[in-house]
């Protein structure tokens, strides 16, 4: 992997530029698979073009917020990339949220339009019907339900470089009040580049895209990490153990999941007697919630591979630390800080604690969010004047720098599937 300074200097202005780069270098390489559909990088570029023109036809422009409600699908990925090319912000929302949550987020972000990706999500269909959305059918993107134009919103300022806000990821955490985390193209591409680089994501890899793109883990680490590396994303709208086994047999090389997914797969194997045939699988990792030692041990026995671990939060886009391929761990450490990311373990007096002692975990790096949308006071409560981010979690750090999360996670809401 290149030095972080070189990676940051080479990051393009927009997420979609990653697709443009690979469509020039390897136009016929597989970029995304969903069911029987496979898009090459050239075709993904065409899909982004179609989505850009579609957003323009809907009067979504620079600085507007466009709310994308759905579940993982090719169309959702293309719309996320296209929004950035239009210099708009994509507020990516899981269709499995309640009507109240959907409406609260829509009102908070001031969405110019709400688009529902309905082909793979019955929940998106229901939300679209409730909003009076009209279905449009596009050659590549398929059926999309479009809500009415919101005339009572104002565009945000546009930055030409990659410091421009790319997405709003909403998190309610322990407060129950949605907060819109503003993540820039630079934030997301840094994580995609470095986290993906540590996993050796490369052309020829097939990465399992089952983590929701509406969650920062699925967006930055999985979607953008795959595109940065020129690999292929196998898009899955929902997690289902039997489908995972079929997809593994079909040639997945990498699976980033959450512990609950591995637990469900283990239970499925125990209950059904199913066997795992994963001829190309070379990398497994879990994140998003604490990893139980038993799940780690059983998963490693099942696959014959190390189950890697990591830690982050929405406000850090998300990865702060992860275990390394060349240093597998038998414990449930979340690994070392990413290259380019600094961490501190701070005691009640505000000073760093000695190695091995528990304190509050702070981080600083290129993934740190721009702030909470329309919430400067809340932003100042979590990011100090030196750009250190208070994770709200308690941790300890071994003498070799490995981190262990020991306190209750600050933003620990994981939805099933």
279, two tokens: 């001829």
DSSP 134-177: EEEEETTTEEEEEPPP--S--PPP--SSTTSEEEEEEE-TTTTS
Whether 144 is covered by a domain: the verdict is yes
What's the structural domain count of the chain? 1
Beta bridge partners of 403: 335, 397
- Total-model pTM: 0.96
Whether 143 is covered by a domain: the verdict is yes
- Per the model's pLDDT, the better-predicted residue between 87 and 411 turns out to be 87
- The set of residues, in sequence order, having a beta carbon less than 8 Å from that of 399 and lying 6+ positions away, is 355, 356
The residue behind tokens 């262990």 is: 404
pLDDT at 416 over 50: no
Q: By three-state DSSP, how is residue 290 classified?
A: coil
Give the mean pLDDT of the chain: 96
In this prediction, residue 13 has a pLDDT band, given cuts at 50, 70 and 90, of very high
* pLDDT per position as a tens digit, 361-411: 999 999 999 999 999 999 999 999 999 999 999 999 999 999 999 986 444
Provide the domain limits for residue 54: 4-183
The arithmetic mean of pLDDT across residues 104-122, rounded, is: 98
- The set of residues, in sequence order, having a beta carbon less than 8 Å from that of 260 and lying 6+ positions away, is 289, 414, 416
Whether 214 is covered by a domain: the verdict is no
pLDDT of residue 1: 87
Whether 152 is covered by a domain: the verdict is yes
pLDDT of residue 407: 85
Q: What is the spatial distance between Cα 233 and Cα 70, in angstroms, rounded to a whole number? A: 18
Whether 32 is covered by a domain: the verdict is yes
Whether 338 is covered by a domain: the verdict is no
The arithmetic mean of pLDDT across residues 304-320, rounded, is: 97
Whether 10 is covered by a domain: the verdict is yes
- Burial of 104 per CB tally in 10 Å (0-12, 13-18, 19+): middle
Whether 77 is covered by a domain: the verdict is yes
pLDDT of residue 61: 98
* pLDDT per position as a tens digit, 154-182: 999 999 999 999 999 999 755 567 899 99
> Helix and strand tally (H, E) in the chain?
13, 21
pLDDT of residue 144: 99
CATH, residue 178? 3.40.50.980
Q: Given the DSSP bridges, would you call strands 389-397 and 371-372 parallel, antiparallel or unpaired?
A: unpaired
In this prediction, residue 281 has a pLDDT band, given cuts at 50, 70 and 90, of very high
Q: What is the spatial distance between Cα 299 and Cα 308, in angstroms, rounded to a whole number? A: 11
């Amino acid at each position: 992997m290149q030095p972080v300074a070189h990676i940051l200097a080479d990051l393009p202005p927009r997420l979609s530029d990653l697709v443009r780069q690979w469509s020039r270098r390897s136009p016929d390489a597989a970029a995304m698979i969903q069911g029987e559909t496979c898009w090459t990088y050239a075709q993904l570029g065409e899909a982004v073009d179609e989505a850009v023109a579609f957003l323009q036809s809907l009067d979504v422009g620079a600085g507007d917020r466009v709310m994308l409600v759905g579940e993982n699908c090719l169309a959702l990925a293309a719309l996320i990339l296209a929004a950035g090319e239009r210099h708009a912000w994509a507020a990516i929302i899981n269709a499995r949220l309640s009507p109240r949550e959907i409406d609260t987020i829509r009102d908070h972000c001031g969405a110019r339009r709400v688009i529902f990706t309905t082909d793979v999500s019955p929940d998106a269909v229901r939300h679209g019907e409730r909003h009076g959305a009209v279905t449009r059918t596009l050659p590549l993107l398929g059926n999309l339900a479009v809500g009415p134009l919101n005339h009572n919103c104002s565009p945000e300022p546009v930055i030409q470089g990659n410091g421009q806000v790319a997405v709003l990821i909403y998190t309610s955490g322990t407060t129950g009040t949605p907060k819109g985390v503003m993540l820039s193209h630079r934030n997301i591409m840094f994580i995609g580049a470095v986290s993906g680089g540590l996993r050796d994501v490369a052309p020829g890899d097939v990465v399992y895209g089952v983590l929701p793109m509406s969650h920062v883990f699925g967006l930055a680490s999985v979607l953008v990490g795959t595109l940065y590396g020129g690999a292929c994303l196998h898009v899955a709208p929902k997690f289902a153990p039997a489908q995972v086994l079929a997809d593994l047999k079909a040639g997945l090389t990498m699976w980033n999941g959450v512990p609950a997914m591995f637990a469900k797969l283990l239970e499925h194997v125990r209950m059904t007697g199913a066997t795992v045939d994963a001829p190309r699988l070379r990398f497994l990792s879990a994140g998003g919630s604490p990893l139980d030692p038993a799940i780690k041990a059983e998963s490693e026995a099942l696959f014959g591979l190390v189950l890697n671990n990591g830690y982050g939060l929405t406000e850090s886009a998300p990865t702060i630390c992860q275990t390394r391929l060349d240093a597998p761990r038998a414990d449930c450490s979340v690994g070392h800080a990413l290259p380019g990311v600094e961490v501190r373990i701070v005691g009640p007096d505000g000073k760093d604690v000695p190695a091995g002692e528990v304190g509050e975990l702070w981080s600083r790096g290129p993934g740190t969010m721009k702030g909470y949308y329309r919430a400067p006071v809340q932003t100042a409560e979590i990011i100090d004047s030196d750009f250190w981010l208070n994770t709200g979690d308690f941790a300890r750090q071994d003498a070799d720098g490995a981190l262990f999360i020991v306190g209750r996670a600050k933003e620990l809401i994981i939805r099933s599937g």
